Structures are given as structure tokens and as C-alpha cells.
Amino acid sequence: MDISHLLKPKGKKLRLIKQAKLIQLMGNLLNSGFNLGEVINFLSLSKLVEKEFTLKMKEGLASGQALSELLESLSFSKNVVTQLALVEVHGNLSGTMQLVELHLKK
């Protein structure tokens, strides 16, 4: 079991409301047929998210990280990371993104 990620400093963290908006936007783009790489490129070009976050996402995707791992590296809520890790195994990513958004807005 690799525990090296536990030793790394976390860096900036998005507030829950911003996490919800990011999840909502990503879910909408995925529902519209964009793939994850295109979603990250859109976020980068639109400047809706700080450059630091999109850069980490691009690097993570290029190194083969799953979406849950990308969001964990951005210090997303443990509940969000867990839900997305489960959906990566079972499917329906865009539907789960909508549920995660609702959860974050509570």
C-alpha cells in the first residue's frame, strides 16, 4: 500500500461551495459528451478555476490518475472522493456528479 500521498503537504483547498460549482460544471460537461481531458482543458481556458488547480488536474490525468485521485490531490471533501472512487468501479459518473453537487450544497 502506497502511503506517500499522506506525507505530501496539501496546498490550497477549495471551499465547499466552490467544490460544488466545480462538480456541477464538470458533471454538465461530461453529460454533454466531453471527456475528462476536454473538461479539464475547458476549465483551464475558461479560467473559472485557479491555474494551480487545473495544472494539478492536467498533470494527474497525464500520469494516469483517476478522477477521484485528482480531486483528492486538490483536497476535495473525503465524501466526494469516496463517492467518485466507487462510481469509477460501478459506472454512471455524470449522474453521481449531480448527486455529489447536491450533497455539497447542503
Name the residue ranges covered by the structural domains of the chain: 15-105
The pTM score is 0.72
Angle formed at CA 66 by CA 97 and CA 77, multiple of 5 degrees: 50
pLDDT band at residue 2 using 50, 70 and 90 as cut-offs = very low
CA distances from 12 to 53, 73, 80, 96 (A): 9, 10, 17, 25
pLDDT one-digit tens code per residue, 30-60: 989 999 999 999 999 998 888 888 999 999 9
CA distance 2 to 12: 23
- Give the chain's mean pLDDT: 82
In the chain, the amino acid numbered 51 is K
Per-residue pLDDT, 89:
81
Per-residue pLDDT, 23:
87
User: Helices 93-105 and 78-90: crossing angle, nearest 10°?
Assistant: 160
In the chain, the amino acid numbered 29 is L
How many Å is the Cα radius of gyration of the chain? 13
Model confidence at 1: pLDDT above 60: no
Place of cell 449522474: 95
Q: Cell digits for 61?
A: 490525468
Q: Cell digits for 98?
A: 449531480
What mean pLDDT is predicted for residues 3-8?
40
Model confidence at 8: pLDDT above 70: no
What mean pLDDT is predicted for residues 70-77?
90
